[in-house]
Amino acid sequence: MRPSKRDELVQKALTIFYREGFHAAGMDLLSAETGISKTTMFKHFRTKEELILAVLRLRDEQFRNWLFRRMEQLGPTPRDRMLAMFDALREWFQTPEYRSCMFIKASGEYPQRDHPIHALSAEHKRLLHRQITELAREAGAVEPEVLARALLLLKEGAIVTAHIGHEVDPAGDARAMAEVLIDKALEKH
Amino acid sequence: MRPSKRDELVQKALTIFYREGFHAAGMDLLSAETGISKTTMFKHFRTKEELILAVLRLRDEQFRNWLFRRMEQLGPTPRDRMLAMFDALREWFQTPEYRSCMFIKASGEYPQRDHPIHALSAEHKRLLHRQITELAREAGAVEPEVLARALLLLKEGAIVTAHIGHEVDPAGDARAMAEVLIDKALEKH
DNA sequence: CATTAAATGAACAGATCTGTTCACAATGCA
DNA sequence: TGCATTGTGAACAGATCTGTTCATTTAATG
């Protein structure tokens, strides 16, 4: 078995939690759908919460890897890469299995800020901010942290709007807004 | 009893669902915390889902009333009122009971778009868009619908960012971004 | 092949979930 | 006062929840 049973479980649990929600997906459903026995699941994780935390750690890694890889592919310059974030997001939104951001949903279902699951979601957002800040700095922004916060705020807005599904192209809207704000942030004075 | 038992239940259930989440708050907890017997709850609502839908209808009304009233109080001109949306949001974010947008959380816990709870969340966002579009038109925007989409995207982004709690002043960030975008949307050509 | 480690299935515990039943109490109104 | 409506409490049903137990089977390793 190349991928360990544990890794296989975490990856499959990710898919199910993402599709169904954390409270809605019970351990019996996970067992039935992953084909991994409950006994094994509880041997690897003492509680459901520990499994969820492992799922979120995997998601953090996979999502940031995917996003920045895609941004690099789509944009030659740092400025282009910032804008390409919204092209990457649009691709994500258009997949049939799209169901919002896993961390937004996690913090929604575990709304207390000191809950480990909520705290991990905050950490994910902080890591994103760090990476986008670096990109904004490369692009020559005077206040790269401010620009990064702006771009990420657009990202969260687009993610939520795309999921609720009442608008046609939130990624496109966010991209157009980003263009204006990036131009302003890179202006020579 | 001036407010009917039904209304009292819906209002109190709103508070509890908002604080705990929809799946996390069971009917027994609701009964214990509202002081209304389970028998009565199920006499007024055949299922938990029907109660949740009533809660969301009340929230839709109360939230839009609060927001637009506050925007009118804080802003003398249509342009000011658009910006005042973010001042109102900041006030909301600073309350200790703030726990994100009830409709974002509802669509997160009921992620399928054809689910009545998800559909009602989408309707709430559509009504908001209609009202902000009208305001953008009054302000003289050439494309009021586009500006309204932009402002609401900022709103959703700020709401989510404020709840996850990794940033200091998402409402202020969104306000500054809105100012740039409003200026651009109201430019004479 | 033999030994060890990992995974399985199925039953079980006890709590909690949604929703029901029913005898009784409180309330509103004539 | 008398009657109808509304609400109550507590027990109950049956499903599902997280987590455990254990005898057995499968897989990896020497």
| pLDDT tens digit sequence for A60-99 | 999 999 999 999 999 999 999 999 999 999 999 999 999 9
Residue B24 to residue A23, Cβ atoms within 8 A:
yes
Task: For residue B4, name the pLDDT band (cuts at 50, 70, 90).
Answer: confident
Closest nt to residue B23, judged CA to C1': C17
Give the pLDDT band of residue A4 (cuts 50, 70, 90). Answer: confident
Task: Tally Cβ neighbours within 10 Å of residue B128.
Answer: 22
In this prediction, residue B187 has a pLDDT band, given cuts at 50, 70 and 90, of: confident
How close does chain B come to A137, measured CA to CA in Å? Answer: 18
Tell me, yes or no, if A116 comes closer than 8 A to chain B by beta carbon. no
**Span B136-174, pLDDT tens digits:** 999 999 999 999 999 999 999 999 999 998 899 999 999
Instruction: Determine contact, residues A100/A159, Cβ cutoff 8 Å.
Output: yes
Residue A188 has pLDDT above 80, yes or no: no
- The reply to whether A5 Cβ lies less than 7 angstroms from strand C is yes
Q: What pLDDT score does B2 carry?
A: 40
> What pLDDT score does A3 carry?
63
Identify the structural domains of chain A with CATH numbers, from first to last: 56-186 (1.10.357.10)
For the stretch B83-92, pLDDT in tens is: 999 999 999 9
The chain-wide mean pLDDT, for chain B, equals 96
| pLDDT for position B189 | 62
SS (H, E, C) A3-70: CCHHHHHHHHHHHHHHHHCCCCCCHHHHHHHHCCCHHHHHHHCCCHHHHHHHHHHHHHHHHHHHHHHH
pLDDT per position as a tens digit, B111-140:
999 999 999 999 999 999 999 999 999 999
Tell me which residue has tokens 């905050």. Answer: A122
Q: Is the minimum CB–CB distance between A133 and chain B shorter than 8 Å?
A: no
pLDDT at A1 over 70: no
Tell me what the mean pLDDT of segment B77-99 comes to: 98
The sign of the CA dihedral B148, B149, B154, B159 is: positive
Instruction: Give the mean pLDDT of A133-144.
Output: 97
Spell out residues with C-beta < 7 A from strand D: A 1, 26-29, 38-39, 42, 46-49; B 4-6, 35-40, 43-44
ipTM: 0.95
pLDDT confidence of residue A2: 42
Give the model's pLDDT for residue B1.
Answer: 36
Of chain B, the percentage scoring pLDDT greater than 70 comes to 97
Q: Is there contact between B48 and strand C, defined as CB under 7 Å from any strand atom?
A: yes
* Mean pLDDT value across residues B75-82: 97
Q: What average pLDDT does this structure show over B72-81? A: 97
Q: Give the C-alpha separation, A21 to A15, whole Å.
A: 10
What is the rounded CA–CA span in Å between residue B161 and residue B169? 9
Mean pLDDT of chain A: 96
Rounded CA separation A102/A63 (Å): 10
Nearest to B156 among A109, A152, A157 (CB): A157
